[in-house]
Structure 1
Amino acid sequence: MMQQIRAVEGHENSLLPAGKRWKLVWNDEFDGTALDSSKWNFRLHFWGNRFPAFTDEGVELDGNSHMKINLIRRPDGSYCSAQLQTGGIVYDIPKENPQSFWPFGAYKEMKFLHKFGYYEIRCRLNKQFGWWVAFWLQSPSIGAHPDPRRAGIECDIMESQEYAQDKTIRCGNIWNGYGKNCKGSGHKHPIIEDTPDGWHLFGVDWSKDGYVFYADGKEVNRVDSPVSETEQFILVTTEPMGYRDAVNPKANPALDTIVLPDCFEVDYVRVFDEI
């Protein structure tokens, strides 16, 4: 069961798990005409290196409390799109001095870190296949400790890799860092039914007992362990496919069929604590 909550006057209601009392502790309604830099930064690096598919361009606020992240085709035919985050993973921070012995740069202050609560986004998904959008939580130090409760996890609340083809999303958790030791919860792929206006609600209820994932008010996945006991940051991201291929990092051929514009549109992002 879910309950509607008037979280922010003059904006759409939130849809939260019933039987609990909730308090809004962080939000962005994307009012105004410019991204709030006190809440978000752009993710531009991947494992310490500037990543060609990430950009700080293509993000616009329409003046009606909506943000759009646009897929961009560069003059050379390559693609890029923006990733927004309220913090950052330490492995992404580039060296400030190329001659330094240390492989990454100095730790930077996070703009918003939080533990437990309900994390919610209202959004319109990308329409075309070849890039994907996501709403997720990340630990700044995932994999840095053998106990994922202390190191934190990657919590994928919504990923749209296959949505444009079969109307499914992915939701679930990853822990133990990345590479051969990476473990996952067995992501589920629920079908997302169309809505009259295209808007969808995705959220996760993260508590000491586990994670419950929701899509448009319906429970779509449940993960009991491991449960992160460390504060994590929020990401609202987009990415063209193909550029993570270590052998041949270039645009996925599916991008050749995309007709621009295509965007990820976000109405709000909100975080609630149970009280």
Structure 2
Amino acid sequence: MRIIVLIIGLFGLQVINGQTPEHILKNYNLIWSDDFNGTTIDSLKWSYRATGSKRQFGIVKEENSYLDGNGKLIIEVSKNDSIHQIGQIGTQDKFLTKYGYFECSAKMNKELGPHVAFWLQSPYIQKEKNNPKKYGTEIDIFEYHTNGGTNYVYHNLHWNGYGEHHKSVGEKIQIDHIDEGFHTFGLEWTKDEYIFYVDGKETWRTTEAISHIAEYIILSAELSGWGGDFAKSNFPDQVIFDYVKVYKKAAN
């Protein structure tokens, strides 16, 4: 599924993963990015999302999303007494776009229970309208959890609301050592298809539920139940993001 380069040096074996696909670098221009430098989340790019609300088994808290001061964004699931806390940030109301190539570099969580994600969301997703072209699609560029194995990532699409008429399609992708170190996750979104990438290699493409509207980016660590029984897990558990980048196709 992916190409790796092994380097043996003073510090032992290291794994360097492929990153942005060559055709993206050749044919697309970088238009938006965040390398998470500094000590506070850039409020011109991101907002805390749904803080104070209860999402499945967790309460969304601002303090669960923060920069470490070394160029990394930490989003964690924590436990405060008997209350589980989760984190998520998004570019809603600050950066929405359609089509292009979206990429992040991230290091996965370890414990059973949380599931972490890099995704795009439509501002009209709650409408039960079976018309993703007009109302958009939730595009999960990657989702990850340790329930059922640590070497899998998930690409998923959701549309037509989240009620009884909800529709979805997705793929479970096995990638060895995805639970070790940082990996890149990308989506090439055109008016005709979605193409998903892990470490620069295509993992899934589909023409299902293509959104033709501008959407925003979300980074999150959830506690939904999908990630398994978290009763005996050690918290905090976290996903670490190194960067997020958005490219647009260059004009001919």
Same fold (TM over 0.5): yes
The count of corresponding residues between Structure 1 and Structure 2 is 231
Question: Counterpart in 2 of 1:62?
Answer: 68
1:107-186 equivalences under 5 Å are 110-144=93-127, 145-162=129-146, 165-185=149-169
- Is 1:44 aligned to 2:28, yes or no? no
> More deviation in 159-168 or 121-130?
159-168
What is the percent sequence identity of the aligned residues? 33
Instruction: Structure 2: give runs of 5+ residues left out of the alignment.
Output: 3-16
Question: Counterpart in 2 of 1:24?
Answer: 30
- Is 1:230 aligned to 2:235, yes or no? no
Alpha carbons of structure 1 residues 114 and 163: separation in structure 2 relative to 1, 3 Å:
farther
How far apart are 1:261 and its partner, in Å? 3.7
**1:25, 1:209 → 2: CA distance?**
21
More strand by percentage: 2
**2:179, 2:126 → 1: CA distance?**
42
Q: Which has the higher contact order (CA 8 A, sep 6+)?
A: 2
**2:125, 2:64 → 1: CA distance?**
29
User: Does structure 2 conserve the Cα–Cα contact (< 8 Å) formed by 1:118 and 1:203?
Assistant: yes
Deviations 1:200-248 (A, max 9, x none): 1101000011100111122111111321110000000111234x9xxxx
- Is 1:219 aligned to 2:196, yes or no? no
How far apart are 1:62 and its partner, in Å? 2.2
User: Does structure 2 conserve the Cα–Cα contact (< 8 Å) formed by 1:129 and 1:165?
Assistant: no
Question: Counterpart in 1 of 2:86?
Answer: 81
**Equivalent residue letter for 1:63:** G
How far apart are 1:32 and its partner, in Å? 0.6
Deviations 1:111-168 (A, max 9, x none): 1000000000100010111111001001000253442101001001111134673421
Secondary structure of 1:269's match? Answer: strand
User: Does structure 1 conserve the Cα–Cα contact (< 8 Å) formed by 2:65 and 2:88?
Assistant: no
**1:189, 1:61 → 2: CA distance?**
30
User: Does structure 2 conserve the Cα–Cα contact (< 8 Å) formed by 1:126 and 1:164?
Assistant: no
User: Does structure 1 conserve the Cα–Cα contact (< 8 Å) formed by 2:65 and 2:75?
Assistant: yes
Secondary structure of 2:247's match? Answer: strand
Structure 2 residue corresponding to 1:33, chosen from 39, 60, 64:
39
How far apart are 1:59 and its partner, in Å? 2.4
Alignment RMSD, CA only? 2.6
Question: Counterpart in 2 of 1:189?
Answer: 172
Secondary structure of 1:257's match? Answer: coil
User: Does structure 2 conserve the Cα–Cα contact (< 8 Å) formed by 1:53 and 1:239?
Assistant: no
**1:78, 1:167 → 2: CA distance?**
29
Secondary structure of 2:229's match? Answer: helix
Could you tell me the TM-score, scaled by structure 1's length? 0.76
Question: Counterpart in 1 of 2:240?
Answer: 265
Secondary structure of 2:173's match? Answer: coil
**Equivalent residue letter for 1:149:** K
**2:189, 2:72 → 1: CA distance?**
26
**1:81, 1:172 → 2: CA distance?**
21
How far apart are 1:192 and its partner, in Å? 2.4
Deviations 1:256-275 (A, max 9, x none): 22223421100000100011
**1:164, 1:28 → 2: CA distance?**
32
> More deviation in 52-61 or 204-213?
52-61
